[in-house]
Each structure stands twice: as C-alpha cells, then as structure tokens.
Structure 1
C-alpha cells in the first residue's frame, strides 16, 4: 500500500497551523483585551486562566514552522524571504509578551508597564499573522523558483484588512474564553466585549470574502464553478450558523457555547482557505506535490511525527483536563 506522503504532510502542517490558531488565539486575545479590563485584579484573573497552557499552545507554531521547512523546503525558501519582516516582528512580539507575562507578577511596582508590554506584544503578534496571511492570499511574486518581489509587498490594503480580522478574531476568542473560565462581573463584561467583537469579525470576514475572488482568478473559479461552488455555499451557511450560536450563547448567558462557536468560525475560515488554495501550497505558484521533499525524507520524518503528535496531543489534553472548570478569584493557577 502506497501513501501519498506530500498530501499527508500537507495535512499534518495544516493541522498544526489550525491547532496553533485556535489554541494560541485565545491567549493572544487575552492580551489584546487588556485595555478593556483596566483593574489589576481582573488582569490577574485573565492571565491566571491561561497560565497553565499558554506555553504549550505555541508548540504547534514550532511544529508547523519546522514541518514546513523539512517537508516543503522550496516553500520555506520562497515564502520566508517574502515575509521576513512580519515573521521577525511576530517572533519578537511573542518573546516580548512572554517576558511581560512573567515580569508582571514579579515587578508589582511596574506591573502597569509590563501589562502594556503584554498588550502590545499580543496585538503585534496577532497583526503580523494577519499580514502574513493576507500576503499569501494576495499572492507572492515568484520567478524561477525564488521570491522576486519587494521587501514590503506584504503590506497592502488587503493584508491590512486580514490583519484587522485576525486581531478582532483573537479578541473574540479571548473574550469567550473569559466567559468560559470566570463568573460574576468580569464574565458579564467579557460578554459585552464579545458581542461587538463578533459583529466586527463577521463584517471583516464578509469584506475579505467579497474581495478575495477578485484578487486571483483561481479563487474566483474555485468559489463560483461547479462542483466546488457547493462548498462555497456551504461554508458561508455554516459560518452563519456559528454566528447564530455565538449570539444566542452570549444573549442567554451560556458559558461554553460562545467559545465553541468562535472556534467554529476560525475552523470554517481555515476550511475556506483550503478550498481556495488546494492543490497549491503557495497560491498560483507552487503545488503541494511539486514543492515537497523526496519521499524517502518524508517517510523518515513521518515515523517521528507518528510518535510525537500523539504525545503532544496527550500532554496538551491532560493540561486542559487538569485545569478545567472555572477560575477561583482568590486562588489562581499561577
């Protein structure tokens, strides 16, 4: 029995990316929301809610980046020069927010400065991910297998729109996470923040969706030709269902439903990207199969991934299980 190793590895990397987005998204969202929760007690409760899991969430970022370099070296060599600026800024922001996260507990006299650092680092990291996404969707100028564009090609009105969507989406994930993990006044305020964030996110998704088909003929054909147009109708319908579930969950005071609905929005948007891109890994330039490493290398790495991915999933699941339930306002996890 022969395995389609390039497709398997494309699936693994896609899984790592969406796992990172949905897991690290809500803890980046916590930082983005700091200006809406100015009280020290509330911010302590918010950071305590992510303290046991936030480091582990970034495992998926490392796996996605490392897997891309090993399994699709041509893509790594092509995309990285195009996105050096946003990727470097994202990594610096993640480092800075990590430092701020720790020091806000150890430097009480200057905690306001570290809180500002946590907010800035979280917001910049989210925005740079959105800029990178927008640049990929928009397309990269590739000539003779190398990036031939300029340093700031990633910066455009479209990528600015996708950056705003990612920041808003992470803020929604953070707000619904607070709803899930807390009670009382802070939970009520999180609901009040989540509702406009949800409305703004769906408006931004709508703008991106309307704009995308006119960026590249490939997208237009995918979304408006038979039979792929079946999916182009299904994804918006499911998104509308998630929007309804989010609104109902927030309006009726449910705790878990808004968070699950927000996760559903991200997963459906990711599915929409997959429909638009496939079989390309760099839209319009490089397909999955032509940019993959040799099968022997992919098979060797797959043996390691078959061990490591279940281990990562196991300890991640265990962490979330141990720290399940509501936060105690008087006793944090930290």
Structure 2
C-alpha cells in the first residue's frame, strides 16, 4: 500500500503551524499586554520571561513556510500573491519587534520609544496573521491553478475581525504565560486581566464560528451534514468548559491552570479550522493532493524533515527546560 505523502505532509505542516502559533503566540501576546503595565520594571520582567526563547519560537514559522514552498508549491504560489501586503507587513512587524526587543535593552533616554516599537511590531504581526487566516477561510479565487483575484481581496470585514480575534487570542496566551512565570504584584495584575480577556476570546470564537458557518454553506455542511454534528458537538462544549476552567482557576489563584487551558482553547479552535477546510489547503477549490509536488519530491523532503524536525523539537524542549521557573525583578535577565 502506497503511503499518502500529501496527507503526511499536511499533518507535518499543520503541526509546525500549530507549534508556531502556540510558542510565538504568547511571545507576541506579551507585546500586546505592554500597554496595560507602564512600570518599567514590570515590562523588564515580562520581556525576561521570553528573552531566552523568543527567537527560537519563530523557527517553526520558517520551517512551515519552507515546507509549504517545497511540498505544496501550487498552494504557496496561490496563497502568497493573494496576501502579498499582509505577509510583507507581518514580516516587517516581526523584524521591527525583534529589533526593538534587543535595542530597548541598550537604550536609556529612548527606551519608551522602543517600547512603543515593540508594542506596534507585536500588534502588526499578530493582526496580519489573523487577516491572512481570515482571507483563507473566506476563500481564494483560483483559475487554472493560479490566483485570479484582486490585490485587496484579502481585505474584508471578516478578515479584519479575524485579525482582531487573533490579537485577543495571543493576549490571552501571554497573560497565562506571565501568570506562570511571575509572582507578586505583576502576577496579580495578570490575574485581573485574564478573566476579561478570556471572556472576550470566548465571544470572539463564537462570532467568528457563526460568521464562517452562515457565510459559507460548504463549511456548514461539513459541520452539520449527516451525523457529523454528533461527532463535532464536543468542540464548542470543550471551549466553553475551558474558559470556565480559566475563570475558576483565576478565582482560586491557581497559577498552573490558566495557561494550559488557554492552549487547549487554541487547540480546539485549530481543530475547528481543520474541520472547516479539510481536505482543501486553499478553500474553496484546491485540495492538498492537487497542490502537492510530485511523489519523489515529497519523499525527498520527508527524509530531510525526519532529520531536522526532531532536532528542532529537542532544541525547543531543552530551552524551555533550562529556563524554567519564575522570573523576578531582581534577576539579572538574559539581554
């Protein structure tokens, strides 16, 4: 029996994308939470919680982009021209944010300016990622395997809402991360923010889900056609239960639960995305098999991924293991 390499690669790229959203999500979320805390010492602690790991978190974005280019070239050649501007703005935000991260540590009189740059870069990168996701969900026009839409087809009320929704998602992850990594007054501030932010996240998830189902009959059929509703009904139930668990953990000052529960909400949202678009890699017409490179190219890349991916995963695991524990104001930091 021949191995379906397109499905295997879809799973690998899907895993890489999810790991990027998880790891760089709370990283970007810290930049989104900066405006809520103006004390310089608090901001320094916030940055020190991710200083040893932030650049490694973006490895999965590079891996996913390279794999998409090599294994699903038709999808890459379609998705990129359909989203040129948000992709460029996203990369610019990540670059600007990374520069601000490093330069603010050396600045004295201009540190507040670099703080603003860090906030702006985080907002820009996260928002553009959400816009790209929204443009994918609303569908990309393809004719003869090529993008056939306009330069601003990606811009719509739905894609803008998805951009705002991803800002809320990353802020929730960042808040949960800081609850685990900090203590004292800063941790209390995060507890105070976690409940309203997670409530907004819940509202955002249900609005985006309803908008997608009502606006796209094909997605509605995937969720509600036949007996599928019976199988997929636990997804929204688990989302609500997780948000309730976050509120309960916050009330009890249980610092270990909010972050993993926020990750689980993200996982449920990601699962819902896969249900909504599978087997299309570019909805509504391009499947993973139609977009895939030839079998030998996929196999060659799979050998490379079998070597590289475990190394990346081991490196990521070790960096979080080495730098585990609380970060406090009195710590020297990692700049």
TM-score normalised according to structure 2 size: 0.98
CA–CA separation in structure 2 for the residues paired with 1:231 and 1:74: 32
Q: Does residue 1:206 correspond to 2:209, yes or no? A: no
| Divergent runs of 4+, >6 A | none
Which runs of 5 or more residues in structure 2 are unaligned?
A: none
Q: State the match for 1:71 in structure 2.
A: 71
Tell me by how many angstroms 1:248 deviates.
1.2
Aligned pairs for 1:207-222 (under 5 A) are 207-222=207-222
Which 10-residue stretch deviates more, 43-52 or 212-221?
212-221
Q: State the match for 2:90 in structure 1.
A: 90
What is the DSSP-based 3-state SS (H/G/I as helix, E as strand, rest coil) of the residue aligned with 1:106?
Answer: coil
What is the DSSP-based 3-state SS (H/G/I as helix, E as strand, rest coil) of the residue aligned with 2:255?
Answer: coil
Q: Does residue 1:53 correspond to 2:53, yes or no? A: yes
CA–CA separation in structure 1 for the residues paired with 2:241 and 2:232: 15
Q: Does residue 1:22 correspond to 2:31, yes or no? A: no
Tell me by how many angstroms 1:333 deviates.
3.5
Tell me by how many angstroms 1:165 deviates.
0.7
Is this contact kept in 2: 1:97–1:122, CA < 8 A?
A: yes
CA–CA separation in structure 2 for the residues paired with 1:248 and 1:150: 47
CA–CA separation in structure 1 for the residues paired with 2:109 and 2:269: 42
Tell me by how many angstroms 1:152 deviates.
1.2
Q: State the match for 1:166 in structure 2.
A: 166
Tell me by how many angstroms 1:68 deviates.
0.5
Tell me by how many angstroms 1:143 deviates.
1.6
Is this contact kept in 1: 2:183–2:328, CA < 8 A?
A: no
CA–CA separation in structure 2 for the residues paired with 1:265 and 1:56: 23
The alignment's C-alpha RMSD in Å is 0.9
Q: State the match for 1:316 in structure 2.
A: 316
Q: State the match for 2:155 in structure 1.
A: 155
Which 10-residue stretch deviates more, 94-103 or 247-256?
247-256
Tell me by how many angstroms 1:109 deviates.
1.5
Is this contact kept in 2: 1:49–1:332, CA < 8 A?
A: no
Tell me by how many angstroms 1:8 deviates.
0.4
Q: State the match for 2:195 in structure 1.
A: 195
Aligned pairs for 1:1-334 (under 5 A) are 1-334=1-334
CA–CA separation in structure 2 for the residues paired with 1:165 and 1:231: 26
